[in-house]
Structure 1
Amino acid sequence: MRSALHPYHPIIYVRGFAATQGEIEDTVADPYMGFNIGSTKTRVAWTGDVRRFFFESPLVRLMSDHGYKDVFVEGDDLVAAEHHDRPVPYRCIVIYRYYDEASNDFGDGETPPIEHFAKGLGNLILRLRDKVCANKANDIDPEACRVHLVAHSMGGLVCRAFLQNPRLGSDEARRAVDKLFTYATPHNGIDMRVVRNVPGWLSFGDINNFNRERMAEYLDVPRGDDVSVVKGFPAERIFNLVGTNPRDYTAAGGLSSWAVGEASDGLVCIRNATTHGPDSQGKEVTSPRAFVHRSHSGHYGIVNSEEGYQNLTRFLFGELRVDGMLDIDDITLPLEVQKAKEAGKPIRASYQFEVSASVRGCQWQMTRREVRENSAIFRTFADLFPGRAGSGVTTGHSRRPHLFSVFLDWDKSLKRRSSKSVSFAVDLKVLVPDYEVDGVMFLKRHFEGGFILRRLILIEVFPDANSQAGCRIKYGFQEMNPGKPGILAQTRGIEGEARGLAFDIPIEQTARPGLHGRLCIEARPWS
């Protein structure tokens, strides 16, 4: 059953980890537990320069842009207070204040286990559902009531524990969850330079919540299995926002950032910040994700960022999902390297793919993966061409890099454009690898940072009620027709899906080293 109010469901914000009693007391002293914190500073690309940019906070922007309201009236929380009968709006923002009972002021100063927090989330969902359904102005049936969960860091693990572990809360509450958006959540635990996996015995501040064996307990995953696998909730309904900027995470005087390393947000390694698992049809998928050059928290943090807000609102409220995968048929070697290979010398090479996606009308990149930010996609030759012996015809399917997931909002675009379309651009780069020939680096004609291929691809989507995905699509290349896609895509249905369209954009670089392949675009109705 779907409500007429869809997709603007109540939002529950679940904050992240507080290690010390002082941090817990500071947390509970804030009504919004950090969701109201904005920023006036942003880094300019990778240079480290700072420019002034006013981001009011996710809370304020949801209120001003989408008409959400909080639930605090005359000093009370209308959802938490049992005795109040004041109406609660459906389009509301609720803060899950799970640290209250761990504070000295509101509780007993003892921090309950994460399982307790997960159960409490289920109780909050049902209480919120009852409150919004009691408001006759909402005209909502309890069976149609849904909630969005938005979580930072450990808050995402609290949400997953509730969604995955049948012992932690009721199925009735789980069925009410529509989507989960996670900022910088350590879905696969926390690793450090000196020790892989937070030790299970390290109980200070319950930091062992990030130990994989401990995570397996509360996520209801067999010990030794991958704890980033989602079960019991469709993996495609979880969005992972991944930070790639460790330098601005100043916790513990910068010690955390040093300990975790460069390929991180200063606390969570990039490789540990995503989920995967069965979708609603049982097919194994990666959860949609985006990579932004933000740190785990602070003035340059991932929650209080425009990039985070743009991904959040498009995932929650957007109407079209577009994914891009790169199918590679062949990658050719430089002529000298090819001759050495034909002479029987062993050749080694691995490939890095950089990609960014930008939506028309928004100055912020929805996602950006770059070598210099330690977030580029990495594949070995064997990854791309399993079982392939030479440089001729592929003997197996290439392992396609998933480049991006972009969520588009028809309504926002139609108000601004007479063309009644939504557009985005994909900047795709395949870097020249460091070839190794017979154990020696091949440096002839080598220029650091060179590209095998670079294309700026423009994609424009038009609403079309007669289409399988509700749209038709044009594409083009910036170097051929700047700013205007002009080629009508020849679409096909997505195999195994009743709705959705797919099409291929040829990607070629004939010079050596070169690449022959296709950018496969899949578009599906969303929300």
Structure 2
Amino acid sequence: MAKIKAPFYPIIYIRGYAMTKSAMEDTTTTPYMGFNLGTTKIRQNHKGEVMQKFFESPLIRLMKDFGYTDNYADGDVIEGDIPAKSVIIHRYYDQADGDFGTGDGAPSIEQAAQGLSELILKTRDQVCGDDAQARMDFRVYLVAHSMGGLIARCFLQNDEIGSAEAKAMVDKVFTYGTPHNGIEVGNRNVPRFLSGWDINNFNRRRMAEYLALDSHNRVDTLNNKFPAHRFFALVGTNHHDYNLSKLAVGPMSDGLVLIRNASVQTAPRAYTHHSHSGVYGLVNSEEGYQNLTRFLFGDIAVTGVLHLEALPLPPSVQQALDSGRAVRASYYFENTVMVRGEMFKLSERKIDNQSAGFKEFDELFVRDAAGKWVPKPGSMPVLFSAFLDSSKIQAGRTLVFTVDLAVKTTEYEIDGRMFRSKRIPGENLFREQITIKATRAGDGAGGFNLRYTLTDEGWGEYRGSLAETQSDSGYCIPLKSGKGFKGALKLRIAQR
């Protein structure tokens, strides 16, 4: 029997930053370094009753749902054979503890990344032994919280750190709340000179060093060292439920990491209303777990882009524009993605959470030679990246999910002054819930038949209309409103 069977590879969990010596010691005295923390909430059920809702932790759920195990036995770390379905904790802070290591202080990012390389090779040896085929098939997943994601990136991106052999074994990387473009306090990047407590690990100049980047202007790039489509960032949007740092970092963050700094360029990401850590944190959330397991084990990848053709103005604002007055407008793009039969949200971008997509009109459109406003190439809002698992389909072969989509304006500006006299707060240019049904085509070519229903007016269980197939193997769902909005939800659905 083969020891390695995709997609169930070993998972190495890399915890985040511990600032003080006591925090490091608290970390080293726990076996799973936070990956075993769950939460209990209250939720109103379908009868109107208030019930407790338990999330047991990512570790326990991986054990229950997928048969994973840890690498501990009889109070020791197992040094012999372990199964492929193992969760291993990268205990890089142990060396900072006087009981477990030298007690000389925390390792550098580079040292922790080197240790990760060695841990991957050790895990390969423990899982595969001397089985040549198993060693060839071996892969590993890296799952990281906060600074742990920077350790993973240092290992993958810095040619001077770790072995090429170990890097090639990494199949996918999933990060929770990682400051991929550094940490900002008061909209300023933490200074490089704050070497105390290793806070400069989040300074972009320092990050460029250990990520082996030529520029420190933005450091949220994989620099072609790892495929972006195999790297996922879960972005938190709840700054209220974090510790005192939320007062310095403020809104549009998870309480520590700004939303705009928590993902990697061109890589998939999802947004969830959770804080950086703690009881209501990203790691110990159902939404975090569902994104994690669907990204690691799911077999379908979906990307949604909103293609805009017409963004109407209110009649009075249009009249001002037609009369030659200068008009400026900006737009919010809200969307929530859910799968059929579930209560969790795979991704949620809302104005109320300060996480909605935002673009100015001039970012979206440009005048053509005839003076007509046309969409600017490459400017259209990417709404979501979602990963689905066809093994969870209870009947048939159709994947069903919903996209709750709204397009709103911020405020209109006429001749440099805010337009308020006839402004309706929160007015939608477009709003619709779209139920999407993707069925594998019967031709064996790996494609899909895609149907959709606009469920604000029609029942989601209806068969729906057939989406238009695009020349780039994507699918197009036309959208319009009575106000003159016109566009399309363009979907790319790919077998993984």
* Pairwise TM-score range, normalised by the shorter structure: over 0.9
1:128 aligns with 2:120: no
Q: Which residue in the other structure is 1:505 paired with?
A: 477
Distance 1:42-1:101 versus aligned 2 partners, 3 A rule: farther
Tell me the amino acid that sits aligned with residue 194 of structure 2.
L
Distance 1:467-1:432 versus aligned 2 partners, 3 A rule: farther
Q: Which residue in the other structure is 1:164 paired with?
A: 157
Tell me the amino acid that sits aligned with residue 482 of structure 1.
W
Question: Is the 8 Å Cα contact of residues 236 and 276 (structure 2) preserved in structure 1?
Answer: yes
Structure 2 distance, partners of 1:333, 1:90, is 57
Structure 1 distance, partners of 2:43, 2:235, is 16
Distance 1:97-1:384 versus aligned 2 partners, 3 A rule: same
Structure 1 distance, partners of 2:147, 2:375, is 43
Structure 2 distance, partners of 1:321, 1:22, is 42
| Superposed displacement of residue 247, structure 1 | 0.6
Structure 1 distance, partners of 2:374, 2:160, is 48
Q: Which residue in the other structure is 1:283 paired with?
A: none
Tell me the amino acid that sits aligned with residue 150 of structure 2.
L
- Gaps (5+ residues) in structure 2? 45-49
Question: Is the 8 Å Cα contact of residues 69 and 86 (structure 2) preserved in structure 1?
Answer: yes
Question: Is the 8 Å Cα contact of residues 41 and 300 (structure 1) preserved in structure 2?
Answer: no
Q: Which residue in the other structure is 1:24 paired with?
A: 24
Distance 1:324-1:3 versus aligned 2 partners, 3 A rule: farther
What whole-Å deviation, never above 9, does each CA across 1:364-396 have from its counterpart, x for those lacking one? 010001111100100000011134699944174
Question: Is the 8 Å Cα contact of residues 4 and 134 (structure 2) preserved in structure 1?
Answer: no
Q: Which residue in the other structure is 1:401 paired with?
A: 381
Q: Which of the residues 213, 216, 233 maps onto 1:224?
A: 216
Q: Which residue in the other structure is 1:184 paired with?
A: 177
| Superposed displacement of residue 144, structure 1 | 1.1
Q: Secondary structure at the match of 1:457?
A: strand
Runs of 4 or more, structure 1, over 3 Å off, are: 386-393, 395-398, 467-470
| Superposed displacement of residue 196, structure 1 | 0.6
Distance 1:42-1:11 versus aligned 2 partners, 3 A rule: farther
Distance 1:387-1:188 versus aligned 2 partners, 3 A rule: farther
Structure 2 distance, partners of 1:386, 1:365, is 35
- Gaps (5+ residues) in structure 1? 45-49, 277-285, 495-500
Q: Which of the residues 198, 213, 229 maps onto 2:205?
A: 213
Tell me the amino acid that sits aligned with residue 217 of structure 1.
E
CA RMSD, Structure 1 to Structure 2 (Å)? 2.1
Structure 1 distance, partners of 2:338, 2:370, is 37
Question: Is the 8 Å Cα contact of residues 88 and 135 (structure 1) preserved in structure 2?
Answer: no
Q: Which residue in the other structure is 1:377 paired with?
A: 357
Tell me the amino acid that sits aligned with residue 262 of structure 1.
P
Indicate the percent of aligned positions where both proteins have the same amino acid.
47
Question: Is the 8 Å Cα contact of residues 386 and 398 (structure 1) preserved in structure 2?
Answer: no
Structure 1 distance, partners of 2:237, 2:445, is 37
| Superposed displacement of residue 336, structure 1 | 1.6
Structure 1 distance, partners of 2:204, 2:291, is 28
Structure 2 distance, partners of 1:19, 1:221, is 25
Structure 1 distance, partners of 2:457, 2:329, is 31
Superposed, which structure 2 residues align to 1:28-47 within 5 Å?
A: 28-41=28-41
Superposed, which structure 2 residues align to 1:467-478 within 5 Å?
A: 468-478=445-455
What whole-Å deviation, never above 9, does each CA across 1:441-468 have from its counterpart, x for those lacking one? 2224322111010010110111235254
Q: Which of the residues 147, 162, 165 maps onto 1:154?
A: 147
Q: Which residue in the other structure is 2:425 paired with?
A: 448
Q: Which of the residues 310, 332, 340 maps onto 1:360?
A: 340
Tell me the amino acid that sits aligned with residue 358 of structure 1.
M
Q: Which residue in the other structure is 1:105 paired with?
A: 99
Q: Secondary structure at the match of 1:62?
A: helix
Distance 1:388-1:246 versus aligned 2 partners, 3 A rule: farther
Question: Is the 8 Å Cα contact of residues 303 and 385 (structure 2) preserved in structure 1?
Answer: yes
Structure 2 distance, partners of 1:22, 1:320, is 43
1:236 aligns with 2:229: yes
Distance 1:387-1:211 versus aligned 2 partners, 3 A rule: farther
What whole-Å deviation, never above 9, does each CA across 1:153-195 have from its counterpart, x for those lacking one? 00000000000001000110000000000000000000011x6
TM-score by length of 2: 0.94
Question: Is the 8 Å Cα contact of residues 63 and 69 (structure 1) preserved in structure 2?
Answer: yes
Return 395-404 or 287-296, whichever deviates more.
395-404
Question: Is the 8 Å Cα contact of residues 367 and 373 (structure 2) preserved in structure 1?
Answer: no
Superposed, which structure 2 residues align to 1:62-77 within 5 Å?
A: 62-77=62-77
Superposed, which structure 2 residues align to 1:410-429 within 5 Å?
A: 410-413=390-393, 416-417=394-395, 419-429=396-406
Distance 1:398-1:51 versus aligned 2 partners, 3 A rule: farther
Distance 1:51-1:299 versus aligned 2 partners, 3 A rule: farther
Tell me the amino acid that sits aligned with residue 474 of structure 2.
A
Q: Which residue in the other structure is 2:263 paired with?
A: 274
Question: Is the 8 Å Cα contact of residues 479 and 488 (structure 2) preserved in structure 1?
Answer: yes
Structure 2 distance, partners of 1:390, 1:27, is 64
Tell me the amino acid that sits aligned with residue 414 of structure 2.
V
Q: Which residue in the other structure is 2:47 paired with?
A: none
Structure 2 distance, partners of 1:160, 1:486, is 43
Distance 1:140-1:309 versus aligned 2 partners, 3 A rule: farther
TM-score by length of 1: 0.89
Structure 2 distance, partners of 1:389, 1:245, is 45
